[in-house]
Amino acid sequence: MKTIGIIGGSGLDNPDILKDAKTIEADTPYGKPTSPLKIGMIGNNRVVLIARHGLSHQFSPTEVNYRANLFALKGQSVDCIVATTACGSLRNEIERGDFVLLDQFIDFTKRRVSTFHESFANGAVHTPMADPFDAELRSHILECAKRIGVKCHPKGTVVTIEGPRFSTRAESLMFQSWGADVINMSVATEAALANELSVPYAAIAMSTDYDCWKTDEPPVSWNEILNIFEKNAERMVSLLKLVVETLE
């Protein structure tokens, strides 16, 4: 039996996907996670679920206690973490509702703690970060996406911005020129921390909008993100279930 951590992002704050679920309040040296831990089963595997932005989406991307979330999952001895996130597309070919299995990040956040090693008082720690998303987990997720026939881009670079505001058009064009494929407000921080804890981490991004680089349509809005995610949430839930059920 494996234990899998799932971090549910915007639009999937509290999915009802666990059998025999119980809820526990966790605490960590970094404070409380953003939601109680929901622990239950999918198939023969144990799942620990956290709502990244809180059960009623009350934490902004800057306020999310990423360290507590990751530390609490590590405390539950998770073998790996699968996160979901809404993202904006910076490429024509990544359409609304498409999934992207991220393989690289660019960290453009500004005001959050994204390390467990702020102090070197007990020795220097510089964590390698060349390939921050777990290759084995990614290929398993991709296989599952193929099996259920959801359109999933096999790789993609995400730029994570601080938010909560969206980007300016100049920023959006700059991120494109940097080679970013999609944009969000959470994943780089989470991936970095998971790597510091040596927990294999993968993130399934769902494209909900074209940010603001396209001039032939209105710029992204929060309502658009929620609408598109809601329309496609069922496919994300099916994918998550299969991914967890078939992890050995």
Positions that interact with ligand ADE (CB under 6 A): 86-88, 161, 166, 183-185, 208-209, 211, 220, 225
Give the span between the Cα atoms of 153 and 94, in whole angstroms. 8
> Would you say 140 or 172 has its CB closer to ligand ADE?
172
CB of 63 to ligand ADE, least distance (A): 15
Residue 185, marked binder = yes
> Would you say 126 or 165 has its CB closer to ligand ADE?
165
Q: What SS3 state is found at 170? A: helix
> Would you say 104 or 140 has its CB closer to ligand ADE?
104
> Would you say 51 or 161 has its CB closer to ligand ADE?
161
Residue 174, marked binder = no
CB of 87 to ligand ADE, least distance (A): 5
Strand blocks (E) in 15-58: 19-24, 37-42, 45-51
Nearest to 242 by CA among 154, 53, 52, 234: 234
Tell how strand 37-42 and strand 19-24 pair up.
antiparallel
Residue 186, marked binder = yes
Give the span between the Cα atoms of 86 and 181, in whole angstroms. 13
CB of 191 to ligand ADE, least distance (A): 15
Beta bridge partners of 24: 37
Residue 91, marked binder = no
Helix H, strand E, coil C: the string for 64-112 is CCHHHHHHHHHHCCCCEEEEEEEEEECCCCCCCCCEEECCEEEEECCCC
CB of 111 to ligand ADE, least distance (A): 15
Nearest residue relative to ligand ADE (C-beta): 88
Q: Which residues does the annotation mark as catalytic?
A: 209, 211
Residue 10, marked binder = yes
What are the backbone dihedrals phi and psi of residue 82, each rounded to the nearest 5 degrees, phi first? -115, 120
Binding residues, by number, are 10, 52-53, 85-86, 185-186, 209-211
Residue stretches of the annotated binding site for phosphate: 10, 52-53, 85-86, 186
